[in-house]
């Protein structure tokens, strides 16, 4: 028989281990179980065509919502509740519990990855230029615009395109940061800028569905040197960092969808082509570039 002090020590250790196991059970990530139990998932989006927007019949659609629908079907959830907010409120609203996932064509960046957990990439947008009809400055690449020295390029403030041109060494005075797409478009129409640099799917959408009779997509177009775009232009879905179970279930469903013919069929109506598929790169690899 063990001495009494040793018995007490063994009892204390046992109690401690039991408390630890109970604690681990209580804090276990139940994010996917919660969604399954209520058979409903809340998805946040912001209106930014072609990535996410609403049609006249109030249906939420776009590249990200339609891919999300395919994923939700795969994980066995029958109901989606769509929650619209402003783009700059997506991450705060997600973290505050207003919805469970962001489906808004959000680009994967190290800064955002400090606040949310991204799915594996679902797209990698190519670049392009919107120019006046006839392409009067004969622009066919970002490098060409930078090298010529006098070309003025409109970009969205804080955009990937702004970062690309800054990395390529454009003169600061030749980079015109616009707050939104209509402002950048008008800058080209009114000759305040010689071209508007933005993702190719967005350009295709603008030309096809928006009334821009004075503008066209610069064709042919040579994509920027990969050294200037490493890790840029990849996007996916975003989750709360603590909701690892939900993100993992989502990624498992994505693995059989992304880069497939079904995936391409889903996103083609929104201006995406096979060139905009992400390939086999992982989110971790995107963030490490």
pLDDT per residue over 244-265, tens digit each? 999 999 999 999 999 999 999 9
The pTM for the full model equals 0.86
For residue 6, what pLDDT is reported? 54
Q: What is the C-alpha to C-alpha distance for residues 61 and 225, in angstroms, rounded to an integer?
A: 32
Pairing of strands 234-239, 101-107: antiparallel
Given a contact cutoff of 8 angstroms between Cβ atoms, the answer to whether 153 and 145 are in contact is yes
Q: What is the C-alpha to C-alpha distance for residues 183 and 71, in angstroms, rounded to an integer?
A: 35
Question: Which domains are delineated in the chain?
Answer: 31-124+233-288 (3.40.190.10), 127-229 (3.40.190.10)
Sequence-ordered alpha helix ranges (H) in 87-180? 90-95, 110-113, 142-148, 160-168
Q: What is the C-alpha to C-alpha distance for residues 199 and 53, in angstroms, rounded to an integer?
A: 17
pLDDT per residue over 115-136, tens digit each? 999 999 999 999 999 999 999 9
pLDDT band at 24 (very low <50, low <70, confident <90, very high): very low
For residue 28, what pLDDT is reported? 76
pLDDT more than 90, % of the chain: 85
For residue 12, what pLDDT is reported? 45
For residue 26, is pLDDT > 80? no
What the block records as the tokens of 273 is 């082509």
For residue 61, is pLDDT > 60? yes
For residue 21, is pLDDT > 70? no
CA 1 to chain CA mean position, Å? 65
pLDDT band at 5 (very low <50, low <70, confident <90, very high): low
At residue 67, φ and ψ (nearest 5 deg) are: -65, -40
For residue 267, is pLDDT > 60? yes
Quote the mean pLDDT of the chain: 91
pLDDT band at 3 (very low <50, low <70, confident <90, very high): low
For residue 227, what pLDDT is reported? 87
For residue 223, is pLDDT > 70? yes
What the block records as the tokens of 88 is 């700059």
Q: What is the C-alpha to C-alpha distance for residues 264 and 259, in angstroms, rounded to an integer?
A: 7
Can you tell me whether residue 211 is helix, strand or coil? coil
Which own/partner pairs from 169-173 qualify as long-range (CB within 8 Å, at least 24 positions apart)?
170/145, 170/146
List beta partners, residue 185: none
């Amino acid at each position: 028989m063990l001495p009494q002090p040793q018995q007490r020590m063994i009892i204390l250790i046992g109690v401690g281990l039991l408390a630890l196991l109970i604690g681990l059970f209580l804090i276990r990530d139940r994010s996917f179980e919660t969604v399954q139990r209520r058979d409903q998932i809340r998805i946040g989006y912001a209106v930014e065509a072609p990535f996410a927007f609403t049609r006249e019949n109030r249906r939420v659609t776009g590249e990200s919502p339609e891919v999300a629908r395919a994923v939700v079907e795969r994980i066995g959830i029958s109901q989606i509740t769509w929650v619209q907010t402003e783009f700059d409120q997506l991450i705060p609203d997600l973290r505050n519990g207003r919805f469970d996932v962001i489906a808004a064509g959000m680009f994967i960046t190290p800064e955002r990855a400090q606040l949310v957990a991204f799915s594996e990439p679902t797209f990698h947008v190519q670049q392009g230029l919107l120019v006046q009809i006839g392409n009067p400055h004969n622009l066919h690449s970002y490098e060409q615009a930078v090298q010529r020295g006098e070309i003025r390029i409109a970009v969205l403030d804080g955009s990937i395109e702004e970062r690309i041109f800054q990395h390529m060494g454009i003169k600061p005075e030749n980079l015109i940061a616009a707050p939104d797409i209509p402002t950048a478009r008008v800058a080209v129409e009114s000759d305040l800028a010689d071209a508007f640099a933005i993702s190719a799917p967005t350009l295709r959408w603008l030309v096809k569905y928006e009334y821009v009779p004075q503008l066209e997509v610069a064709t042919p177009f040579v994509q920027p040197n990969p050294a200037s775009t490493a890790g840029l232009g990849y996007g996916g879905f975003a989750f709360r960092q603590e909701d690892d179970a939900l993100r993992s279930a989502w990624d498992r469903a994505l693995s059989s969808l992304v880069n497939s013919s079904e995936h391409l069929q889903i996103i083609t109506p929104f201006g995406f082509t096979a060139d905009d598929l992400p390939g086999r790169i992982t989110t971790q690899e995107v963030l490490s570039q």
